[in-house]
């Protein structure tokens, strides 16, 4: 009985201390000041608990490749897109997550080409999958309303969607669901390369072909991002597919020559003038196109 | 009862861990919200929020590709005021391309990219101002 009492007192004390810690540090902005120089080693536990590695891999936005495609004069092609009606068919979180990324890239593409009706269909699909994945706060009713209000204003729409994806990403990081966040990125990347490879096939545009070759490093980063989840079967199959694709990219030559950048302090601008070249053969391009197509087909159906 | 006492350290770790984690996330969210204001002038977010909890001289590395023909904005924040975070951009050969240390730890900077480049962004706290805290990095672009 005595031990039980001691344990109970210890537990109550712990809860009280923990409660006070939260009350002192959480809540309003005034209490979340991380600039407090007195906070020295107190946060050492936080670092471990947030489980953040020393390295972070950034995957460029799929919107950038869609913008490039439009800028080189390629016309809108709805055949490049996935089917937003399939959103109800995805039964696993793996497929739901990756298709949030795929639909996000499609949403960017149709927005850039001012395809209003298609944009609303894709946004609705993203919202449906987002709800099922527990990120409904990012893709909520107010986003839909603001999107509809801004129809025709391309920059505003792209900002709204990108900000919503950023909110979802933050929420997933808060709730330590980095696997879902990584899959969303992977889906967006895959879809953007699918756009580029298909456009390259018909247009042979050198800027688009170069953009495909430039994915060599991004693909390596993507594999590093996903590898911690390799133990799960669906991830393993997908990562194996990406590694197979990476083997083709190994042969793509990316050369780089450093040049001293130019900084204009008054404009807070640095122009990076270093030069890079990409060499990619027709055969490599064909293999990449096929492998991207195969990977995508397994995910969108 | 013995079993209960044996599991006490685990219970303590879970309760305290959960509270510290929530607090750290709240800090990062607040900082990200403030930092987001630096991306509002015509830049489209890349849809990500990069964060790391740093102590003293710890360095976080962010690996990315910047496409030629684009202009990027990097916003880097820690704490509720600007200027607490030092960030530097290197190419893959570790040539220094830029450091905000030379510009009063400016919370954001723009980068006009003429030719696609793979680069590394390093971020660490300015330890003269901050000893520890959440570091948030945001990337925006315009074509």
Q: What is the pLDDT along chain A (301 residues), one digit of tens a residue?
A: 454 555 555 454 444 444 433 333 333 333 333 333 333 333 333 333 233 356 889 999 999 999 999 999 999 999 999 999 999 999 999 999 999 999 999 999 999 999 999 999 999 999 999 999 999 989 988 999 999 999 999 999 999 999 999 999 999 988 889 899 999 999 999 999 999 999 999 999 999 999 999 999 999 999 999 999 999 999 999 999 999 999 999 999 999 999 999 999 999 999 999 999 999 999 999 999 999 999 999 999 8
Number of domains within chain B: 1
Per the domain annotation, does B36 fall within a domain? yes
pLDDT at B25: 77
What band does B60 get if pLDDT is binned at 50, 70 and 90?
A: very high
Alpha-carbon distances of B138 from A163, A208, B15, B78, rounded to whole Å: 11, 26, 31, 12
Whether B117 and chain A come into contact, CB under 8 Å, resolves to yes
What are B95-115's pLDDT values in tens digits? 999 999 999 999 999 999 999
Q: What is the model's pTM?
A: 0.83
Which residues does chain B have within 8 Å of residue A169's beta carbon, measured at their own beta carbons? Answer: 47-49
Per the domain annotation, does B122 fall within a domain? yes
pLDDT at A37: 32
Per the domain annotation, does B120 fall within a domain? yes
Nearest to A261 among B47, B51, B98 (CB): B98
Whether A7 and chain B come into contact, CB under 8 Å, resolves to yes
| CA B77, chain centre distance (Å) | 6
Domain that holds residue B137: 32-142
pLDDT at B22: 61
| CA A131, chain centre distance (Å) | 17
| CATH label of the domain that carries residue B58 | 2.60.120.380
pLDDT at A113: 97
Domain that holds residue A236: 55-264+271-300
Number of domains within chain A: 1
How far is Cα B138 from Cα B29, in angstroms, rounded to an integer? Answer: 12
* pLDDT above 60: residue B21: no
Per the domain annotation, does B84 fall within a domain? yes
Beta carbon pairs, A and B, within 8 Å: 249
Q: Which of A3, A20, A32, A193 to mutate to test the interface with B (most CBs of B within 10 A)?
A: A32
Per the domain annotation, does A20 fall within a domain? no
Per the domain annotation, does B128 fall within a domain? yes
**Is A268 within 8 Å of B106 when comparing Cβ atoms?**
yes
pLDDT at A95: 97
**Is A37 within 8 Å of B131 when comparing Cβ atoms?**
yes
ipTM of the prediction greater than 0.95, yes or no: no
Per the domain annotation, does A182 fall within a domain? yes
Q: Which of A23, A49, A150, A259 to mutate to test the interface with B (most CBs of B within 10 A)?
A: A49
pLDDT at B1: 58
How far is Cα A93 from Cα A91, in angstroms, rounded to an integer? Answer: 7
Asked whether A157 and A119 are in contact (CB, 8 A), the reply is yes
Per the domain annotation, does A39 fall within a domain? no
B9 or A284: which leads in pLDDT:
A284
Per the domain annotation, does A126 fall within a domain? yes
Per the domain annotation, does B114 fall within a domain? yes
């Amino acid at each position: 009985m005595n031990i039980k009492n001691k344990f109970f007192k210890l537990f109550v004390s712990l809860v009280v201390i923990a409660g006070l810690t939260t009350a002192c540090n959480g809540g309003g902005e005034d209490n979340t000041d991380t600039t407090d120089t007195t906070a020295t080693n107190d946060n050492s536990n936080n670092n471990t608990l947030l489980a953040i590695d020393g390295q972070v891999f950034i995957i460029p936005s799929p919107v950038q490749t869609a913008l490039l495609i439009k800028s080189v004069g390629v016309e809108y092609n709805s055949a490049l897109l996935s089917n937003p009606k399939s959103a109800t068919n995805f039964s696993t979180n793996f497929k739901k997550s990756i298709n949030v990324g795929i639909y996000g890239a499609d949403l960017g593409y149709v927005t850039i080409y001012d395809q209003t009706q298609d944009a609303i269909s894709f946004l609705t699909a993203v919202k449906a999958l987002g709800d099922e994945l527990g990120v409904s706060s990012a893709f909520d009713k107010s986003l839909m309303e603001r999107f509809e209000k801004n129809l025709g204003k391309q920059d505003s729409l792209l900002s709204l969607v990108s900000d919503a994806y950023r909110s979802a990403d933050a929420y997933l990081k808060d709730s330590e669901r980095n696997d879902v966040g990584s899959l969303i990125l992977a889906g967006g990347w895959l879809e953007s390369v699918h756009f580029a490879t298909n456009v390259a096939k018909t247009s042979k545009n050198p800027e688009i072909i170069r953009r495909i070759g430039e994915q060599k490093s991004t693909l390596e980063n993507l594999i590093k991002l996903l590898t911690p989840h390799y133990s799960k079967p669906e991830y393993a199959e997908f990562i194996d597919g990406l590694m197979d694709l990476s083997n083709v990219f190994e042969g793509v030559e990316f050369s780089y020559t450093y040049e001293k950048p130019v900084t204009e302090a008054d404009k807070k601008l640095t122009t990076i003038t270093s030069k890079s070249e990409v060499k990619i053969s027709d055969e490599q391009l064909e293999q990449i196109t096929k492998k991207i197509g195969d990977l995508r087909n397994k995910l969108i159906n | 009862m013995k079993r209960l006492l044996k599991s006490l350290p685990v219970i303590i770790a879970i309760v305290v861990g959960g509270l510290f984690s929530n607090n750290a996330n709240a800090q990062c969210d607040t900082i990200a919200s403030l930092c987001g204001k630096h991306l509002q002038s015509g830049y489209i977010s890349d849809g990500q929020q990069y964060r790391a909890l740093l102590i003293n001289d710890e360095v976080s590395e962010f690996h990315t590709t910047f496409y030629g023909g684009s202009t990027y904005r990097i916003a880097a924040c820690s704490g509720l005021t600007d200027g607490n975070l030092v960030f530097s951009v290197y190419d893959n050969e570790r040539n220094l391309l830029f450091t905000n240390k030379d510009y009063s730890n400016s919370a954001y900077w723009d980068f006009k990219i003429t030719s696609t480049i793979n680069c590394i962004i390093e971020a660490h706290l300015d330890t003269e101002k901050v000893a520890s805290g959440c570091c948030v990095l945001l990337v925006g672009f315009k074509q």
